[in-house]
Chain A
Amino acid sequence: MIEVRNLIFEYPGHRAIDDVSFSIETDSVTALVGPNGAGKTTLMRCLCGLERPLSGDIFVAGIDVIKDPRRSHKTIGYLADTFGLYDELQVRQCLRYAAEANGVKNQIDISVTQTAERLNLTDRLTQRVGGLSRGLRQRVAIGQAIIHEPRVLILDEPASGLDPEARHDLAELIKILKVSGMTSLVSSHILAELGAYATEMLMLRDGQIIEQRLLGKQTESRRHISIELLTANPAIAEMLSTRPEVHSVNTDGARIICEVSGGNHTQQRLLATLVAADAAVVNFSTVEQDLQRSYLDSIRQRQTK
């Protein structure tokens, strides 16, 4: 759905995006994570055609964003980190304007009603936007971004400033949008929350993609295994890292987390190897890899390199 090739974006004396290439599959929710100043917002603005990069290619739903940004806008919904609304207008007027401005031709009233229902705004339609709470304003802004049924939704820090309940509602909404076939790219600092709905992680640092990985369910080909030893034993971690099926090894005291390719048989062989090496294994299990852990693992691996 999104394909980026060799993207370079520069500010004077500063390369914000440095030769970035990645692709995002349809119907996924990708968490764009990275420290402040990593280039997340710049990357998102480039994807939306709001900034023109120095070089590289961006395709969203097959449309060349750099060559034809206007056409790509019809397939993209974007919520900026510092979004704004027309405070003097009613919610219905805001949604109606967004529908018309985004080229919804027919059944505008139905689009407004459906979007309001989707966002639980039906009973707020006649209220002035200026009088709404932060969470409700966020919903109106998302409503404006999705009213034209874009195929890709790009949300920059959508959870910032929201209370826990509003954050939960946002997570539920993104899940619903995923089910309805919308591909989302979401940046946030609140990783635990992104983990609730993200299916993929894209990690950006110093303007470069340092990792892109699937999250959530363990796949048949790749899984994370937690090995708990009786006492910390660096030799075991060393031994594991030399095995061809093991892709990464992270130690945390007596606990070792490794990423392994292969299915149950590989897992069984790995356990047999540990037993043969006389490792004092007290626990051996697959772990669900959440976003926070993935992020920290990647950071740790990068630091050790």
Chain B
Amino acid sequence: MILNPELRRNLLLECNTHRFILVGGVLTGVFTLVSLFNPNGSGNLAANVGLVIFVLTTMVWGSHRAGESLLDELRARTWDAQRMSALSPWSMTWGKLAGATVIPWFAGSISLCVYFFGRQGATVFERMEIIATCVAAGILVQSLSLIGALVGTHVDKHGKSTLTSWATVGILALLYAYFSIYYKSTDEILWYGTSYNHTNFLTASVFALAVWNSVGAYRLMCMELAIATKPWAWIGFVLYLTIYFTGAYIPADCPLPRAIGLAAAIGLVVSIGATYLSAFALYRDPLTFRRLKTYVRNKTHRELFEDVPIWMASLAVAALCMLVCVAMHFAPEYSSLRIENVRLGAIAIWLYAIRDLTVLFYFTYRGTSRSVESSTVILLALLYWALPSILESMGLQKLSWLLRPPIWDQPIPSIVIIGVQVLIFSALCLRRYRQHISPLRFS
């Protein structure tokens, strides 16, 4: 008896004998062909084909099904009824994740069995470790797809956006690049000065990311099911990434002040990255600031904290990291690592983030939700790259600094220049807010 109604409903929709027979038949055919065309009689080819089929079924097909499990509800207009149900966000999340992907997991399980029994020259533990990594990677990708669908659902309620799906693809590509480049390069991984076997470390990393992704899907589901949440999970994720990446740079017997400075510098980059990701991908309510103002005026602090967009939370973490980086101005230089020596430049980096957010909100306040993100990206590309490059090519180096100041070499003038840019864009943003958002039309 399956207790989760969402899982049972998904199984009712997904499971039928024909599908199981079809998938089982196709896989049997593929593996029979592989064994027929394998002249050496080695099982490794079948094992490798098994892994490829696992990626194709569980990761590609399965992630598609995980996202579709939510998008199907929107298409069928059943999502409001689900939002009003008594199902807990966790039941809803794993009911969809496990139920909608049951056939891909069935195919993936057969493939992993073939891998396990066909792989030669590896111990049982090594094979089990690869299988565990594959399973974690499958959960990671599927939950990421559900996150993409949840974010898309939230955005689409207020206007179409294709950015979310592209952001999902981008994150997957980044994850793949990171794991394949970083972890293939060496047999041993140094993390906080301790050496780890790279396969073990990769497995642990993928597992941890899968857990964080599941937490992310759960928190977004809470938001959809009208369960108020505070942004602790997002802050926790930012801190986790900071600790994770800092481990790669900190040597053994690192002095504490240096470790703090390095963590703050990496934390600044991570939290600003998280701010951009959340501000661009999630729905930006043009009324956010009005709502927050109302909560402050009504002294409803709980609602204020629950309604704070998560980009504000990561921006606040970035501000803390910035302060620590600035404090490191008085510490000696420990290494030539560029990010470690950002120090006063951290203020400029933080101000850059503020400026870019004002640009994003400037387009958000346009009154139409179309092309907000693409317009922002184009303008930022002009400000960061195109215009300074043109000015530099014309020999106007100093003038190009007005757009792209040298924050590492001359942090204080850079802070002033970017501060002025923040003021200009804030004024434009405020003007547009007053034009399009603030005045109220009554129906």
Contacts and interface: CB of A to CB of B under 8 A. Distances in A.
Contacts of B294: 54-55
A170 B291 CA distance: 40
B442 A18 contact: yes
B87 A207 contact: no
Nearest to B81: A144
B86 A55 contact: no
A84 B77 contact: yes
A42 to B, nearest CB: 10
B86 A13 contact: no
Contacts of A144: 81
Interface in A183-228: 205-207
B367 interface: yes
B84 A84 contact: no
Contacts of B9: 86, 89, 93, 97
Contacts of B81: 78, 80, 83-84, 98, 144-145
Contacts of B424: none
B83 to A, nearest CB: 6
Q: Is the interface of A mostly helix, strand, loop or mixed?
A: loop
Contacts of B420: none
A247 interface: no
B440 interface: yes
Chain B: number of interface residues, binned into ranges: 35 or more
A13 B12 CA distance: 45
B257 interface: no
A14 B290 CA distance: 13
B443 A50 contact: no
Contacts of A82: 77
Interface string B431-443: 0000011111111
A15 B440 contact: yes
A61 interface: no
A50 B440 contact: no
Contact of B85 (A69, A93, A101): A101
A120 to B, nearest CB: 21
Interface string B353-372: 00000000000000100000
B227 A70 contact: yes
B286 A12 contact: yes
B285 to A, nearest CB: 8
A37 interface: yes
B293 to A, nearest CB: 10
Contacts of B12: 89, 93
Interface in B255-302: 286-287, 290-291, 294, 298
Given A14-B443, A88-B13, A101-B6, A69 B226 contact: yes
- Output the residue of B79, B83, B225, B294 with the most chain A CB within 10 A: B83
A86 B12 CA distance: 11
Contact of A16 (B73, B227, B438, B443): B443
A116 to B, nearest CB: 18
Given A85-B76, A102-B85, A103-B86, A12 B226 contact: no
A80 B5 contact: no
A100 to B, nearest CB: 4
B78 A85 contact: yes
Interface residues of A, number: 45
Interface in A52-84: 52, 54-55, 69-70, 73-74, 76, 78, 80, 82-84
A121 interface: no
B124 to A, nearest CB: 41
A12 B13 CA distance: 39
A304 to B, nearest CB: 21
- Output the residue of A89, A100, A148 with the most chain B CB within 10 A: A100
B197 interface: no
B28 interface: no
A37 B441 CA distance: 12
Interface in B83-114: 83-87
Given A54-B290, A89-B12, A12 B86 contact: no
B126 interface: no
Contacts of A73: 84-86
Contact of B367 (A12, A97, A207): A12
Contacts of A15: 440-443
- Output the residue of B79, B81, B298 with the most chain A CB within 10 A: B81
Contacts of A50: 80, 83-84, 226
B32 interface: no
Nearest to A74: B86
Given A12-B367, A86-B76, A102 B86 contact: yes
Nearest to A101: B85
B82 interface: yes
Interface in B1-29: 5-6, 8-9, 12-13
A177 interface: no
Interface of A: 10-16, 18, 37-39, 48-50, 52, 54-55, 69-70, 73-74, 76, 78, 80, 82-89, 93, 97-98, 100-103, 144-145, 148, 205-207
The 6 residue pairs across chains A and B that have the minimum distance between CB atoms: A84-B77, A103-B86, A100-B5, A101-B85, A69-B226, A12-B286
8 contacts: A12-B287, A13-B436, A73-B86, A84-B73, A93-B9, A97-B9, A100-B5, A101-B6
Given A73-B86, A80-B77, 19 more contacts: A11-B287, A13-B438, A14-B442, A15-B440, A15-B442, A16-B443, A18-B442, A37-B443, A48-B84, A49-B84, A52-B226, A73-B84, A82-B77, A84-B77, A85-B78, A88-B13, A100-B5, A101-B85, A103-B85
